[in-house]
């Protein structure tokens, strides 16, 4: 089970939203590049990065710092938020992003998904399945789509999608535990695609719960707030063991909130 740290960027800073609300935001750190280096020291094998401003259609002014993150790390970065055209997909991949996440674009321009997979491969293009009460949300989670999450995923799989990042918005940022039933239901309906679970992880028992879903195609989990809140004792061990390569002030700032 691959654990993927999340870095959500808004106005150039690392933030976490509570249940997807832009009005309920916690700023954890001002420098996403240092934050990315910290997660790497803490044994991250890949990072999940979301440009929250771009997701709401408010510009791509965070793209420069995301490019700096790609330059600074030796692990792959997956990027979501505001990627809605072939040109934007290509620009992100050319800048060093390993794979792009299509959310709103997949709902509003489903043919773009098949086109992108044909051009860049299914390993480089994944679909972000962001749902509240089973309905897919778009435009940075601010609008409903009227689409059932499972039916939408089945359509996307038929178009060539081989990975979904499934976020239960009602659990995101709450530390209240992941929606195990929703992930299981989706996995039962897919034939080939894998699932990355996202939303609600608060402590190590939640990770063990997600691990039970491996027979249903869930092979990875995104963790955000729990890492920022230092909910896992091993985080401090990793930081001190490699203190020559980590800014311990950054670790302290991120973990003591």
Q: Of 130, 168, 172, 206, which is the active-site residue? A: 130
Concerning whether 249 is annotated as a catalytic residue, the answer is no
Residue 25 CA to residue 257 CA, distance in Å, equals 13
Residue 173 CA to residue 159 CA, distance in Å, equals 31
Concerning whether 8 is annotated as a catalytic residue, the answer is yes
CA-closest candidate to residue 223, choices 150, 171, 153: 171
Residue 108 CA to residue 202 CA, distance in Å, equals 33
Tell me, what DSSP letter sits at residue 30?
S
Burial track 116-128 (b if 16+ CB lie within 10 A, e otherwise): bbeebebebbbbb
Q: Of 8, 51, 53, 206, which is the active-site residue? A: 8
CA-closest candidate to residue 44, choices 242, 248, 244, 256: 242
**Which of the residues are catalytic?**
8, 130
């Amino acid at each position: 089970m691959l654990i993927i740290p999340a870095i959500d960027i808004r106005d150039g800073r690392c933030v976490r939203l509570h249940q997807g609300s832009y009005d309920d935001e916690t700023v954890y750190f001002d420098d996403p590049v240092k934050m990315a280096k910290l997660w790497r020291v803490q044994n991250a094998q890949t990072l999940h990065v979301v440009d929250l401003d771009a997701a709401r259609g408010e510009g791509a002014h965070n793209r420069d710092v995301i490019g700096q993150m790609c330059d600074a790390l030796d692990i792959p970065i997956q990027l979501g938020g505001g990627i809605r055209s072939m040109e934007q997909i290509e620009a992100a991949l050319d800048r060093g992003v390993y794979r792009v996440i299509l959310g709103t674009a997949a709902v509003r321009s489903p043919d773009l998904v098949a086109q992108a997979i044909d051009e860049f491969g299914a390993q480089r293009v994944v679909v972000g399945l962001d749902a509240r009460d089973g309905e897919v949300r778009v435009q940075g989670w601010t609008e409903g789509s009227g689409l059932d999450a499972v039916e939408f995923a089945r359509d996307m799989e038929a178009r060539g999608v081989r990975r979904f990042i499934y976020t239960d918005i009602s659990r995101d940022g709450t530390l209240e535990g992941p929606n195990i039933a929703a992930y299981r239901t989706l996995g039962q309906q897919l034939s080939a695609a894998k699932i990355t679970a996202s939303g609600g992880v608060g402590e190590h028992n939640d990770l063990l719960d997600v691990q039970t879903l491996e027979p249903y195609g869930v092979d990875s989990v995104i963790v955000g707030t729990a890492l920022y809140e230092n909910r896992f004792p091993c985080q401090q061990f990793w930081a001190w063991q490699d203190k020559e390569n980590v800014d311990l002030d950054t670790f302290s700032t991120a973990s003591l909130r």
